[in-house]
Each structure stands twice: as C-alpha cells, then as structure tokens.
Amino acid sequence: MQEYAKKIEIRWADLDPNFHVLHSKYYDFGGYCRMMFLTQHGITPAVMIEKNIAPVIFKETCLFKREIKFEDELWVFLKLSRCNADASRWSMVHELWINGDTLAAEITIDGAWMDTKLRKLAIPPNSYKLGINHMPKTNDFNA
C-alpha cells in the first residue's frame, strides 16, 4: 500500500479556549486513523475480543508544528516505522496535514499486542501480522 489517510472533520467540541484544536484531540485523531486501518484490514474490535489480543501503547509523542483551526481541512496519514518479524512490537507515525500543504503535527507511537485475559504481552495471530504488513512504511522503516 502506497498511502493510508483518513479525513477528519473538526468539530466545535474539538476546540480549546484559544479557538484552535485542543492538544489531546491530536492524539484522538491519530488513534481514529490507526483503528480504522486495523479494522479495514481485518483486525476489528470484534476480532480482538474473540482472540483476546489487543494493542497496547508504551509511548506516544507529538511534535506540534502548526495550530489546527475549525475551518481547516485535516488529513491524518499513517505509516509503519518499525515492526519485528512476528509483528509483536511496532512503531507507527501519524502525520496531520492541514489544507493539503501544511504539516500540523507528527505523532509517533511505540506499541505491542497484549493478551487481554492474561494481561501480558503476546505474539499476535498470523491474521494480525498480515494486516499490519499492509500498512505503508516510512522511508526509514526498520524491521
């Protein structure tokens, strides 16, 4: 896959008292894009419940570059920057672009899969690996 992106509609409730998007919403937008990708590649919430394997995030950072305002058109692009051979550990990058030409933020996450019954890290089923492998890769992707 060359590119994966989701358009985000900015709602009035997303704004802070300065009339730009509240910082925590940036993380929500990244999470929405990430979960839509997983769902569209067979890793749905229902499958996660059935398999008792769900994602867990160890680290999430955001570099804020430009404010996002109510009128802006926002697209979130998702890429895989690191993934080990069994897809049990991974890193993803989300780029938030406004109006097609301005990078507003870059979110980076490091995560893994967790067995939701045992509450321990786990190797995901092969179907998860297949889904993750469809994610576009960063130029500096590290396997």
What's phi and psi for 21, nearest 5 deg?
Answer: -65, 130
Contact 120, 114 (CB under 8 A): yes
What is the tens place of the pLDDT at every residue in 17-53? 999 999 999 999 999 999 999 999 999 999 999 999 9
Show the domain range for 100: 5-142
How many domains does the chain contain in total? 1
Q: What is the CATH number of the domain that holds 59?
A: 3.10.129.10
Report the distance separating Cα 129 and Cα 85, nearest Å: 9
Which pTM was predicted?
0.94
The CA distance from 142 to 31, in Å, is 22
pLDDT of 85-143, one tens digit each?
A: 999 999 999 999 999 999 999 999 999 999 999 999 999 999 999 999 999 999 999 87
In sign, the C-alpha dihedral spanning 116, 122, 125, 127 is positive
Strand pairing report for 102-115 and 53-64: antiparallel
Residue 142's pLDDT is what?
Answer: 86
